[in-house]
């Protein structure tokens, strides 16, 4: 199960997390996917429709994180990928 979901400004010890991430019970962290229930659209929408000059370095780093997470997820063994997906779903249903 997920232990904690990070939001901007959340702290873990003295470390401030600056991107939306979910930390899973195995210690790995994953970018939190955008959900229909979110007040704002996710990074995919920003990259598609926002004017290029309005994109920030944080936007690009979040996009890179999502791309890398996807690549990592699809290359891991099926059972492990399913476990990660289950933990992410559990974290998201906890209201994070």
Helix, strand or coil for residue 84?
helix
pLDDT tens string 24-69 = 888 888 888 887 777 777 888 889 999 999 999 999 999 999 999 9
Q: Decide if 5 contacts 22 (C-beta within 8 A).
A: yes
Rounded to 10 deg, the angle between the 78-93 and 57-75 helix axes is 130
What pTM, to 2 d.p., does this model score? 0.68
Task: Give pLDDT tens digits for 4-31.
Answer: 443 444 433 222 233 478 888 888 888 8
Can you tell me whether residue 35 is helix, strand or coil?
coil
């Amino acid at each position: 199960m997920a232990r904690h979901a990070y939001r901007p400004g959340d702290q873990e010890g003295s470390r401030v997390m600056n991107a939306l991430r979910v930390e899973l019970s195995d210690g790995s962290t994953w970018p939190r996917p955008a959900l229909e229930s979110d007040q704002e659209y996710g990074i995919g929408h920003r990259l598609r429709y926002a004017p290029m000059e309005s994109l920030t370095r944080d936007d690009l780093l979040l996009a890179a994180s999502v791309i890398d997470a996807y690549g990592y997820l699809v290359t891991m063994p099926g059972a492990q990928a399913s476990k990660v997906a289950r933990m992410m779903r559990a974290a998201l249903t906890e209201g994070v």
